[in-house]
Structure 1
Amino acid sequence: MIFDRIKPLDAILATAEKKSLHRSLGAFQLTMLGVGAVIGTGIFVLTAAAAQKAGPGMMFSFVIAGFVCAVAALCYSELASMVPVSGSAYTYTYAVMGELLAWMVGWALILEYAVAASAVCVGWSGYVMGLVENLTGFTLPGALSSGPAWGFAGGIPSVDFSHGVVNLPAIIVAAVVTWLLVIGTSESASVNAVLVAIKVTALTAFIVLSFPILKGENFSPLMPTGLLGHDGLGVVGAAATIFFAYVGFDAVSTAAEETKNPQRNVPIGLLGSLAICTVFYFLVAAGVVGTVGAQPVRDAAGAVLPPDGAGFAARCAELAALGQAPIVCSDEALAETLRIIGFPVIGNLVGLAASIALPSVILMMIYGQTRIFFVMARDGLLPERLADVHPKFKTPWKMTIFTGICVAIAAAFFPVGQLADISNSGTLFAFFMVAIAVMMLRRTDPDRFRPFRTPLVWVIAPIAALGCLGLYLNLPFVAQMVLPVWGAIGLLIYVFYSRKRSHVGLGLIEVHEEDSDVPPTAMPPI
C-alpha cells in the first residue's frame, strides 16, 4: 500500500506545541523576511541564461515564475502553519500522504539542495574570475575556469572539452564552505542581514545607473523565441530556469507559527515579498535588455542555440575573439553590463558584492541538504550512521563531507544554467506534492485546526499544481529526465533498504521535533 505508513499528525503537533513560539511577526516583518530570503543568487547568475532562452521576453519570465511561486507559497503556508516542524515538504508529505511519497519528496529535496549549491558555486566562480581579471588582468586558462559543454542529440549525450575541462574556483569555494560547516561555522542573523543589504544595494545601484540610458530598439523583437519554445527555450522555458531565483520564499511560510494573525499577515508577507522581488527582477532584466541588448545567439542557420550546449560555447568563443561577445555569453551579466555602459568601478563593486554574498547562499543550501538527510536518517530511511556527530566539532560531519564532495563534482563539470534547471526539477516536484497534500488534507481531515487557511483552496491549489507541472514540462529534456532517473534510484533504495528499516514501519512513533529549530549538532552519536 502506498498510503499505509503515515507519521501521526497528532504526535507531530503535540511535540511542536512544546516549543510555544511567541507570535510576534507582523505583515511588514514577514514581507522583509521574504525579500531577504528571495533576492540573491538567481538574478546574479541566471540573467544571461534566461536572456539566451527568451531574449528581452525574459522580463516576463520573472513574472510567470513569481506567480507560480505565489500560488505554491499559499499552499505551502497552510501546511507550514499546521505542521510547524523541521523537514519541510518531506515532513508534510509524511503526515498526509504516507512514507513512500514522503521518501520521494525528501529524495527530490536532496537533489534540489545539492544541485542548487553547485549552481551557486559556478555562479560565484564567474563573478570572482571576472572581478580578478578586471582588477589585475589575471585570467585562469579556459581549461580550469569552466566545465565542459554538454549536448544531447539523437538521444546520445556528448561532451565538448574544447572550451573548458574543470571549474577550479567552483571546487575551491565548495570545499571551503564544506570545511566551515564541518567545524561548526554558521551564519548569524546579523551577518545575514548585512549580506542581504549588500545584494539589495548592488541591484538598486544597477537599476539606478541603467535606466536613464535605456534604448527602445533593444526591446525588439520582444520574444524572439516565442512564448513556448522547444527544449527549454521561449519565455515559459526561461521562467522554468528563473524559478531558481525565487527559491527561499518558503521562509515566510515556515514563519507562520510566529506570526500575529497569520490568516491576514501570511498572505500579505508572501505576496508582498514576491511582488517586491518580482518588480526588482523585472527592472534589473529591463536594465540589461535596454542598455546592452539581450538577443539570443544563433547558429549559422539562424536557429537559437541552447545556452548550455557545445554549439553555444563555440559561438560565444568566436564572437569573443572578434570582440563582439553579447551579454548572453557573460558569466557575470550584471557586472559586465555596468562595465559596458561606462561604469567599470560600479561594475566591479557589483562583482565584489556577488563574490561576498554568494558563499553564504552555498553554505545555507548545503546545510539545508544535510538537514533533510538528517531528518530522513532519524526516521530510519537512510543509514543512521550518516547522522553521526563529530566528537570535537559536534557537527554531522559524514553527511556534510559527502554532500560537499557531490556539490564540488557537479560544480566542476556542469554549467550554471543546466544545474539550475536540474535543481528546479526537484523543487517543482516538492511544491507540486505540497499542493496535492493541501487538497487531500482538506478532504481527509477537514476539521483540523488551521492557523492559516489557503484562500480559495480549490482554485489556488490546482493552479499551483498545474503551474509547477507546466514549468517542469518546459525545462530542457535533460533536466526533465534527471528527476525520474533520480527518483527511480531513490525508489530502489527505498524498496531494498529503507522500508524494512523505517521507524514508523517498525512501530516506533518517534517525531523528534523538540529540537526542530536546532542545528543537527544536538543529536548524540549513534
Structure 2
Amino acid sequence: MSNDKDNNGSSDIVELSKELGLKEALGIAIGALIGGGVFSVLGIVIADTGPGAFLAFLLAGIVSAFTAYSYVHLALKHPRAGGAFIYVREAFKSKSLSGVIGIILWFGYSFSVSLYAMTFGWYLGEVWKIFGDRTLDLFFYQVSASAFFFQLLSVVLFIGLNLIGIKESSRTQNILVLVKVSILILYILVGIFAIKRDNFTDPFFIRDGYSLVASSVLIFVSMEGFEILSNSVEEMKNPKKDLPIGMYFSIIVVLIIYVAVAIVTVGVLGWSSDLESYGEVILTVSASVFLGSAGKWIMAIAAIVSAASAINATLLGSSRLSYMLSHEKVIPVAISKINPKTRVPARAIILSGIISMLFVVFFDIRIVATIASIIFMGIFGAVNISAIKLLEGKKRIPSAIGAVLIILYWCFWFWFQFK
C-alpha cells in the first residue's frame, strides 16, 4: 500500500492492483527462472566442470527447493511486497539489518536483469548481423554495436511494458514463457537422439569435481526467480493457493529442463575446455549439429524470448522491492509513489531499470553472473535463517536444511577459490 497526497494536500491511498492468478504466477516464476543464465554461462560451466556439468544445476536446484519452502511460509505469514527485506526485519526486529538486506537484494535483481539483457542483446545482435556487422570500442572492450544497442533497448522496452500495468506485462509474460519452454522441449526431445554416449566417459568431472561447486555458484542465478512471487504477493488474487503451487511447480519444471538441456549439450558437443569460447551462443552451436542451420535460428529465438521474459519478471520483482524499501523509508519516500491510473510503482520501475542498464555498460557477463549468484546465495541463507526464527516446531526443519546447505555451499566455494 502507498500513501500519496494530491495537489490539495489530502491523503489518497492507492493500492497495488490485484491482477495475478495461478497462470500469471507460473508465468512470472518460470519466466524469471529460465532467463539468460542457461544460454549465457552454460558453455563456461561445461568447460570448467566437465561432462557432469548437469549436476551443478541439480545442486543449485536442491538448495533452491528448500529455500522455496521458507519463502512460501514466510510470504503467507507476512503477505507484503518486499520479500527477504520484510522477513529479515520481522525475524530480527532490526531496521538497519533488513535495510542492508533489502538494498543488497535490490542490486541482486539489477545484476540479474543486466545478465538477461546481455543475453538478449548478444543473440539479437547475431540475428541482426544478417543486415551487416559493426563494432565499437567501449571501456577497453570491442562490442558489437548492434548487440550493445539491443542490450540497453531490451531494458527500456520492459520498463515501458511494466509502466503500462501488471495485467499487460503478465499477459506478455505468459506468451513469452510458452514460446521459450516449447522451444527448449523441442531442443531436448530432438537432441536426445544426437547424443553420443562416449561424450560422458572419463573424466566425468574436471579437477576431481572441485569445480562442481564453483560452477554451481556461477549458475546459481539461473535458479533465482521463483522468489519474485513473494514480492508480488500483494498483487495475487489467491496467494494461499497460488503462491505455493507457483513456486514449487516452477522449480520442478525448470530444474528438469535445465538438467536435460545440459545433458543434451554435453552429449552432442562433448567436453572440451574450448567450449567456453562458444560463450553465450553454445546452444545455437549444439542445435545446429542435429537441426542444421535452422537450429541456430530456433535457439537464437529461444534465447531472445527467454531473456525477454526474465527481464520482464525480474524487473517486476526489483521494482516492487524498491517500492517497499521506499515505503519503509530505507530509500527516498518519493520512489514509492503509485500511479493512480495503472496502479504500478512507476518511479521504482524506472529507477530499477536505469540501475540495470548501468551494470550492462560497466560489467562483463562472468562478473555479473558471479556477483548475482553470490548475492542470492546470501539472501537465500538469510531467508532460511529468518524462517527458522519465525516458524514453529517441525515447520522449521526444511528451512534449517536449506540454511545448512547454503552455509556448506559458501564453505566449499571459498575453499575452492583458495585451492
* TM-score normalised over the length of structure 1: 0.66
Paired position in structure 1 for 2:208? 226
Cα distance in 2 for partners of 1:256, 1:249 equals 18
Residues 78 and 394 of structure 1: CA distance in aligned 2, closer, same or farther (over 3 Å)? closer
SS, match of residue 332 in structure 1: helix
- Which of 179, 188, 209 is residue 198 of structure 1 equivalent to? 179
Deviations 1:448-479 (A, max 9, x none): xxxxx8x5623x223211322343456689x9
Paired position in structure 1 for 2:12? none
Paired position in structure 2 for 1:457? 396
Cα distance in 2 for partners of 1:88, 1:59 equals 29
* Preserved CA contact (<8 Å) 2:40 2:279: no
Cα offset, 1:387, TM superposition: 3.1
- Which of 249, 252, 260 is residue 275 of structure 1 equivalent to? 252
Cα distance in 1 for partners of 2:168, 2:412 equals 35
* Preserved CA contact (<8 Å) 2:159 2:353: yes
Residues 94 and 62 of structure 1: CA distance in aligned 2, closer, same or farther (over 3 Å)? same
- Which of 134, 140, 148 is residue 140 of structure 1 equivalent to? 134
Cα offset, 1:417, TM superposition: 2.9
1:436 lines up with 2:417 in the alignment: no
Cα offset, 1:38, TM superposition: 3.0
Cα offset, 1:137, TM superposition: 6.1
Counterparts of residues 4-403 of structure 1 (less than 5 Å): 35=30, 38-98=33-93, 99-133=95-129, 136=130, 138-141=132-135, 143=136, 161=140, 163-164=142-143, 167-182=148-163, 187-220=168-201, 221-228=203-210, 234-250=211-227, 258-260=239-241, 266=244, 270-297=247-274, 326=275, 328-388=277-337, 396-403=345-352
Residue type of the partner of 1:199? Answer: K
Residues 473 and 419 of structure 1: CA distance in aligned 2, closer, same or farther (over 3 Å)? farther
Cα distance in 2 for partners of 1:461, 1:185 equals 31
Residue type of the partner of 2:405? Answer: G
Paired position in structure 1 for 2:357? 408
Cα offset, 1:291, TM superposition: 0.8
Cα distance in 1 for partners of 2:276, 2:335 equals 44
CA-based RMSD of the aligned residues comes to 3.7
Cα distance in 1 for partners of 2:158, 2:133 equals 23
Cα distance in 2 for partners of 1:46, 1:438 equals 31
Cα distance in 2 for partners of 1:208, 1:165 equals 33
Cα offset, 1:81, TM superposition: 1.8
Cα distance in 2 for partners of 1:436, 1:204 equals 36
SS, match of residue 209 in structure 2: coil
Cα distance in 2 for partners of 1:389, 1:252 equals 19
> Can you give the 5+ residue segments of structure 1 that lack an aligned partner in the other structure?
1-17, 149-160, 229-233, 298-325, 447-452, 480-526
Residue type of the partner of 2:171? Answer: S
Cα distance in 2 for partners of 1:29, 1:388 equals 24
Cα offset, 1:203, TM superposition: 0.5
* Aligned length in residues: 394
Cα offset, 1:30, TM superposition: 8.4
Residue type of the partner of 1:79? Answer: L
Paired position in structure 1 for 2:11? none
Cα distance in 1 for partners of 2:40, 2:229 equals 24
Cα offset, 1:292, TM superposition: 1.2
* Preserved CA contact (<8 Å) 2:43 2:282: yes
Cα offset, 1:333, TM superposition: 1.8
More helix by share: 2
Cα distance in 2 for partners of 1:33, 1:422 equals 23
Residues 436 and 380 of structure 1: CA distance in aligned 2, closer, same or farther (over 3 Å)? same
Residues 72 and 475 of structure 1: CA distance in aligned 2, closer, same or farther (over 3 Å)? same
Residues 391 and 257 of structure 1: CA distance in aligned 2, closer, same or farther (over 3 Å)? closer
Cα distance in 2 for partners of 1:248, 1:122 equals 17
Residue type of the partner of 1:139? Answer: D
Cα distance in 1 for partners of 2:127, 2:342 equals 34
Residues 256 and 278 of structure 1: CA distance in aligned 2, closer, same or farther (over 3 Å)? farther
Residues 398 and 274 of structure 1: CA distance in aligned 2, closer, same or farther (over 3 Å)? closer
Cα distance in 2 for partners of 1:273, 1:188 equals 19
Cα offset, 1:103, TM superposition: 0.8
* TM-score normalised over the length of structure 2: 0.81
Question: Which of structures 1 and 2 has the bigger CA Rg?
Answer: 1
* Preserved CA contact (<8 Å) 1:421 1:475: no
Cα offset, 1:295, TM superposition: 2.2
Deviations 1:377-413 (A, max 9, x none): 1112211123346799876554444333321121123
> Can you give the 5+ residue segments of structure 2 that lack an aligned partner in the other structure?
1-14
* Preserved CA contact (<8 Å) 1:37 1:249: yes
Residue type of the partner of 1:227? Answer: G
Cα distance in 2 for partners of 1:190, 1:374 equals 22
Cα offset, 1:113, TM superposition: 0.9
Cα offset, 1:47, TM superposition: 1.3
Residues 178 and 192 of structure 1: CA distance in aligned 2, closer, same or farther (over 3 Å)? closer
Residue type of the partner of 1:224? Answer: I
Residues 288 and 101 of structure 1: CA distance in aligned 2, closer, same or farther (over 3 Å)? same
1:471 lines up with 2:399 in the alignment: no
Paired position in structure 2 for 1:307? none
Residue type of the partner of 2:67? Answer: A
Cα distance in 2 for partners of 1:37, 1:362 equals 7
Residues 365 and 274 of structure 1: CA distance in aligned 2, closer, same or farther (over 3 Å)? closer
Cα distance in 1 for partners of 2:228, 2:165 equals 22
Cα distance in 2 for partners of 1:172, 1:227 equals 39
* Preserved CA contact (<8 Å) 1:370 1:400: yes
Identical residues among aligned pairs (%): 22
* Preserved CA contact (<8 Å) 2:339 2:345: yes
Residues 60 and 106 of structure 1: CA distance in aligned 2, closer, same or farther (over 3 Å)? same
Cα distance in 2 for partners of 1:291, 1:74 equals 36
Paired position in structure 2 for 1:302? none
Cα distance in 2 for partners of 1:49, 1:475 equals 17
